[in-house]
Amino acid sequence: MENSHTSSNALGIKSLLGTETLSHSQIRTILDCASVYKTLWDQKKAFPKSPLSEKTVSLLFFENSTRTRGSFELAAKRLGANTMVLTQDGSSTKKGETLYDTAKTIEAMAPHVLVLRHASAGSPHHLDRILNLPVINAGDGFHEHPTQALLDLMTIEDFRGQIAGLKVLIVGDIAHSRVARSNIYALKTMGATVSVCGPRTLLPPKVEKLGVNVFDRLDQALEGQDVVMLLRIQTERLTPGQIPSQGEYTRFYGVNGPLLRKYAKPDVLIMHPGPINRGVELTPEVADGPHSVILNQVANGVLLRMAVLHLLVGGEALRRNK
């Protein structure tokens, strides 16, 4: 999938479409900027005036979302921007308007950034080609969810200081997960060793080509991992027969307290992009337990999206103090 053409901003890209083509230095620039925003937020200090101030961020969410939509909206508002939110049900796509015509119509209203969540892989790339403004991929089908992966990296750095040298395990429905794909690309670029574990029916064909280790058994996969990322079983995307039942999935791939205590490192981080299925991919004891950083991920989502918006509209690279 081709990436967006270059731009004169600090990232050197017009749009954020995925992590596959982001370099180490581009990811570093985004994480540093988010870290500066986090320090200011934690210290209750004012944010510097943003180039987005009094501009408009258009949010097209043509698939359901709580975290991504809410945090992009908050991020834009914390930067002083206005937002225009459209959802599939409330828009003229219900009357048959195409994505092309919808996007061109929105462009005519002169927003400064467009954020798109869509069920079709490649739809943000299409809009990037036809629109004269930055496009941010907020999740396209099974393909990528770059800001989720970047906020996950930010959270790992918060707790572990760095990503290089860490072992990260992703468990569950890798085949249908844009979060897994974006995380694999970004984590590997930043120097982590990535492994995946799940039923073979939920792993993409030739998964090893993504440069990951593959485990069939969760107990073996958990050993020595610094971070364990759990994925939601996406019932809306499964075809019949891919798993025998949710109960069977949980028996073999669900993470619970006794399993963690027996096989995982004592300081393992448990992550989940949400929404979680309590009692399926993890028990409430694990979701709400001392290893869980799930709500830290959510909080970082706002700050990371502020950084992405800031950088794409031409804000200077903010470097954190080492």
Using CB under 6 A, list all residues that contact ligand CP. 65-68, 139, 145, 148, 273-275
Shortest CB 8 distance to ligand CP, Å: 30
| Sheet of strand 227-230, all strands in order from the earlier edge strand to the far edge | 213-215, 193-197, 167-171, 227-230, 269-271
DSSP state string for 74-100: HHHHHTT-EEEEEETTTSGGGGT--HH
Shortest CB 164 distance to ligand CP, Å: 25
Identify which of residues 138 and 255 has a Cβ nearer to ligand CP in the complex.
138
Whether 53 and 81 have beta carbons less than 8 Å apart is answered as yes
Shortest CB 139 distance to ligand CP, Å: 6
Identify which of residues 148 and 250 has a Cβ nearer to ligand CP in the complex.
148
Identify which of residues 144 and 193 has a Cβ nearer to ligand CP in the complex.
144
Shortest CB 298 distance to ligand CP, Å: 9
Shortest CB 116 distance to ligand CP, Å: 13
DSSP state string for 158-216: HHHS--TT-EEEEES--TT-HHHHHHHHHHHHTT-EEEEES-GGGS-TTGGGGS-EEES
Identify which of residues 35 and 148 has a Cβ nearer to ligand CP in the complex.
148
163: CB partners within 8 A, 6+ apart: 153, 156, 157, 187, 190, 191, 192
Identify which of residues 111 and 273 has a Cβ nearer to ligand CP in the complex.
273
69: CB partners within 8 A, 6+ apart: 59, 61, 85, 117, 138
Identify which of residues 288 and 316 has a Cβ nearer to ligand CP in the complex.
288
Shortest CB 158 distance to ligand CP, Å: 18
Distance CA 19, CA 146 (A): 5
Alpha-carbon distances of 315 from 32, 50, 79, 181, 318, rounded to whole Å: 13, 7, 11, 28, 8
Shortest CB 293 distance to ligand CP, Å: 14
Structure tokens of 173? 């429905």
Identify which of residues 68 and 277 has a Cβ nearer to ligand CP in the complex.
68
